[in-house]
Amino acid sequence: MKLWEKEGSTVNQQIEQFTVGRDKEFDILLAPYDVRASLAHTEMLASIGLLTKLELESIHTELKKILLEIENGSFKMDDQAEDIHSQIELMLTKRIGESGKKIHSGRSRNDQVAVDIKLYLKAEIEKIRDRVKIFFDLLITQSEKYKGKLLPGYTHLQIAMPSSFGLWFGAYAESLVDDLELLAAAFHITNKNPLGSGAGYGSSFPLDRDMTTRILEFEAMHINAVYAQMSRGKTEKAVASGIASVAATLSRLSMDCCLYLSQNFGFISFPAELTTGSSIMPHKKNPDVFELIRAKCNLIQSTPNELTLLTSNLPSGYHRDLQLTKQVLFPAIETLKECLDMAVLMISNIEIKDNILDDEKYKYLFSVEAVNDMVNKGMPFREAYKTIGNQIEKGDFQFDYKKSLHHTHVGSLGNPGNDRIMEAMKKVLAKF
């Protein structure tokens, strides 16, 4: 029997299957957080006289056993349980009797799932943050290691100006700083307690919502009970925007790696065991990992839009539409963690080709250096630009670039500014 069913009533099986959908699959991820929320809620109930001390001790003892079962992998959802909240309450009632039924006093499944999702997303954001920091540190290390190795810079995929692998790695490191700015903002939106808002209209019980906020280590609560419910979907979309930003950085880096690994570029390589071959062409070393990171991260970037479409035009209050946010966001989070792990593996093993710019086809990379050389000798920039442009058009451009790459400003070849990028990352990490 469902927690909400009345005596003598049953739900059509087809309706039940449709309304539950994939919820049980994702509810397993919420299980430890549902127990934590119940521990906090029942401690608060005892403080306002709705549970006796003995009832609280019995409930807490058994909830902690259930939490242990979840953590060691022996916990399972019963077929007849509608969701994780029902499952835990039914287990508790079966084990300790009638007092198990009291844990729902002063709350609804609406605020139960809301607080579970908040706790889950907080933990997952921190896991992503930690993975991003690992990848950031690797990119900075590679930037310092290869800052003397030059490669062509491109605009419009046309040869533009000299760059370096130091700048290339450092650019993606700095991109991650901005990504974590968005993720930190999402973390603060997530870090608010909806517990006690009930079905969205509060309770006649004198609930101590400040107490549960402290116990669950939220930095604040959603004050207005109606808005606590309206935060469903909004919170998920904020997190989705944060992870989509990280995904955009990974996708762009992956595209670069696919290009740079190709024979037409030939700037980088990887050990054979990190690439794949062709079933018909024996010479192939394919960048399948980067292609899949690119594809997966492009799909992650669609997540905020999916959630926008899912939650658009909803009036205030709870609606079953919000159940589907889990199946949109939760897999995207898992995929991003997997992509970050693979990116670390690949970039840790990257091999950089020497003397790339010695190839004659890159000589026009140094046209700006030639212009600047004339400017340094006193010629106005526009005149120098025309002079070099005419030489290039006539095919008689000659310039000894190896003596002229003196880039010293912050963020340039000779001064990539990695120390400042590291300081920026330190500041954004402090926001979590």
d(CA 347, CA 148): 18
Local confidence band at 6 (pLDDT 50, 70, 90 cut-offs): low
Ranges 167-181, 337-351, 364-378: which has the least confidence: 364-378
d(CA 418, CA 424): 10
Residues 6+ apart with CB under 8 A from 341: 131
Let me know: does 363 contact 399? Beta carbons within 8 Å. Answer: yes
- Three-state secondary structure readout of 387-422: HHHHHHHHCCCCCCHHHCCCCCCCCECCECCHHHHH
The pTM is what? 0.92
Bridge partners of residue 286, in order along the sequence: 276
pLDDT in tens, 66-124: 999 999 999 988 877 778 988 999 999 999 999 999 999 999 989 999 999 999 999 99
* 248 token code pair: 């955009």
Q: E-assigned strands of 242-363?
A: 268-269, 351-352
Residue 134 is which amino acid? Answer: I
Per-residue pLDDT for 4 more than 90?
no
Q: Which of 268, 110, 122 is nearest to 187 (CA)?
A: 122
Per-residue pLDDT for 28 more than 70?
yes
Measure the CA angle with vertex 360, ends 351 and 149; round to 5°: 30
Q: Which of 394, 404, 411 is nearest to 365 (CA)?
A: 404
Residue 381 is which amino acid? Answer: F
Bridge partners of residue 158, in order along the sequence: 155
CATH architecture of 13-105: Orthogonal Bundle (1.10)
Positive/negative CA dihedral, 191, 192, 193, 198: negative
Per-residue pLDDT for 3 more than 60?
no
pLDDT in tens, 296-334: 999 999 999 999 999 998 999 888 899 999 999 999 999
Q: What mean pLDDT comes out for the span 217-237?
A: 96
Return the pLDDT at 1: 47
CATH architecture of 120-205+222-358: Up-down Bundle (1.20)
| R_g of the chain computed on alpha carbons | 29
In degrees rounded to 5, what are phi and psi of residue 263?
-65, -30
Let me know: does 148 contact 416? Beta carbons within 8 Å. Answer: no
CB atoms within 10 A of CB 204: 7
106: left (phi over 0), alpha (psi -120 to 50) or beta: left
Q: What mean pLDDT comes out for the span 10-16?
A: 71
Q: Which of 400, 410, 412 is nearest to 366 (CA)?
A: 400
Per-residue pLDDT for 20 more than 80?
no
Q: Domain ranges for the chain, please list them.
A: 13-105, 120-205+222-358
* 17 token code pair: 């299957």
By the 10 Å C-beta count (0-12 exposed, 13-18 middle, 19+ buried), 25 is classed as: middle
Residue 372 is which amino acid? Answer: N
- Residue 6 DSSP label: P
